[in-house]
Amino acid sequence: MPSIRVGAVNYLNSKPLVEGLTEFAGDLDLSLDLPSRLADQMAAHELEVGLIPVIEFLRAESYSFIPNIGITSHGPVLSVTLFSRVPWKDVRTVSLDEGSRTSAALTRILLEHRHRLTPQYRQLPIDEPAEAVSTDAVLLIGDRAMKACLPGFEFAYDLGHEWNEWTGLPMVFALWAVREGVDLASSEVAFAQAKQLGLRRAGVIATREAAALGLDAGFCRRYLTNIIRYDLGPRELAGLRRYHELAADLGAAPRGTNLVHYHRPHLVESRQR
Ligand SMILES: C=C(O[C@@H]1C=C(C(=O)O)C=C[C@H]1O)C(=O)O
């Protein structure tokens, strides 16, 4: 049987979703990369399943997603931070982490919709030190954001918190997207099994990952257990729909994308909107 190429985010927050994944399903070929690159690999048909930024799910229009699994937050997220030299109202130039697509669009949503600004944007390459940027603000995500201190920047806005405070809704950053026509067969269930195991083993994962990241294990544990939420239920989907509307208003995503659960090809699809 040909293997199913699966790409997952290479940050701490996604470790619980891949815990034991390839043992639960022997035909999954797992690789890890930046969220933005996973989205590009999905588009290039180099992956069948990808833990991709939700904005790229909305842009693709043809993907379905594995139900009830996501990378979400219900308030502060700790790993998506807009460091700024100036308060929101004075931001004119922004550098955006190359790894990000969802939070890059979220930065635009907050600046352009919430604060009614029209700043200029540039990409911050993954190997360029954020300390060196000359823009007013710089968006960092993932492990890089968790470790960044950036003393030259007076403000550190947590975009999970900013979103939640403004909309009252959870923020969905990523989900398991499946390319159209892909048949996961019995391997589908492995994604839910990995999530269940990963959540049970959050302490073990935190201990294992902390040293390599140069982060405190107790902090990693709380991040995985209390900050990042992995369910994608009605509340999270309401947050995702709100994000979709606001992104579409900016021309950052097409308006019509349906949030379709994965079903095996040739079976009836369940449409959520
Ligand atoms: C919360 C996070 O979620 C990530 C943010 C993403 C984005 O901004 O495109 C994509 C995937 C997620 O893993 C994070 O990495 O800090």
> What would the DSSP string read from start to end of 99-154?
T-SHHHHHHHIIIIIIS----EEEEE-TTS-GGG--SSEEEEEHHHHHH---TT-S
User: Averaged over 138-149, what is the pLDDT?
Assistant: 96
Structural tokens at position 17: 């979703």
> Where does a domain end: 167, 182, 208?
167
Is residue 48 within 8 Å of residue 95, measured between CB atoms?
no
Asked if residue 195 is part of any domain, the answer here is yes
First to last CA, the chain: 35
| pLDDT band with cut points at 50, 70 and 90 for residue 186 | very high
| pLDDT above 60 (res 240) | yes
In the chain, how many domains are there?
Answer: 2
Higher pLDDT, 1 or 122: 122
Return the pLDDT at 71.
98
Model pLDDT for residues 201-215, shown as the tens digit of each residue: 999 999 999 999 999
% the chain with pLDDT above 90: 96
Q: Are residues 175 and 66 in the same domain?
A: yes
Is residue 130 within 8 Å of residue 140, measured between CB atoms?
yes
Q: Are residues 151 and 85 in the same domain?
A: yes
Return the pLDDT at 266.
75
Task: Centre a 10 Å sphere on the Cβ of residue 214 and count the other Cβ atoms it contains.
Answer: 9
What CATH number is attached to the domain comprising 84? 3.40.190.10
User: Averaged over 213-235, what is the pLDDT?
Assistant: 98
What residues have CB less than 8 Å from 191, skipping those under 6 apart? 17, 21, 66, 69, 176
Return the pLDDT at 267.
58
User: Averaged over 112-141, what is the pLDDT?
Assistant: 97
User: Averaged over 38-53, what is the pLDDT?
Assistant: 98
ipTM above 0.90, yes or no: yes
Asked if residue 222 is part of any domain, the answer here is yes
Asked if residue 254 is part of any domain, the answer here is no
Q: What is the reported pTM?
A: 0.96
List the 120-124 sheet strands across, edge first: 120-124, 93-97, 137-141, 80-84, 155-158
Return the pLDDT at 1.
55
Structural tokens at position 114: 């919430």
**AA letter at 255:** R
Q: Are residues 88 and 48 in the same domain?
A: no
For the chain, what's the residue count?
273
Asked if residue 255 is part of any domain, the answer here is no
> Where does a domain end: 167, 186, 220?
167
**AA letter at 139:** L
Q: Are residues 239 and 180 in the same domain?
A: yes
Q: Are residues 162 and 179 in the same domain?
A: no
Residue 236 and residue 27: Cα distance in Å, rounded?
Answer: 30
Helices and strands counted in the chain (H then E): 11, 11
User: Averaged over 232-247, what is the pLDDT?
Assistant: 98
Ligand 1 atom nearest residue 104's Cα: 8
Structural tokens at position 22: 């390839």
Pocket of ligand 1 (CB under 6 A): 9, 11, 13-14, 35, 53, 71, 77, 79-80, 100-103, 141-142, 145, 173-174
Q: Are residues 69 and 84 in the same domain?
A: no
Q: Are residues 153 and 92 in the same domain?
A: yes
Q: Are residues 108 and 94 in the same domain?
A: yes
Structural tokens at position 141: 């995500």
Rounded mean pLDDT of the chain? 96
Ligand 1 atom nearest residue 73's Cα: 1
Q: Are residues 176 and 133 in the same domain?
A: no
Q: Are residues 183 and 157 in the same domain?
A: no
| pLDDT band with cut points at 50, 70 and 90 for residue 2 | low
> Where does a domain end: 167, 198, 213?
167
Identify the domain containing residue 223 by its residue range: 4-73+171-249
Return the pLDDT at 215.
97
Asked if residue 101 is part of any domain, the answer here is yes
By alpha-carbon position, which residue is closest to atom 10 of ligand 1? 53
Using most ligand atoms within 8 A of CB, pick from 34, 55, 74, 103 the residue to mutate for ligand 1: 103
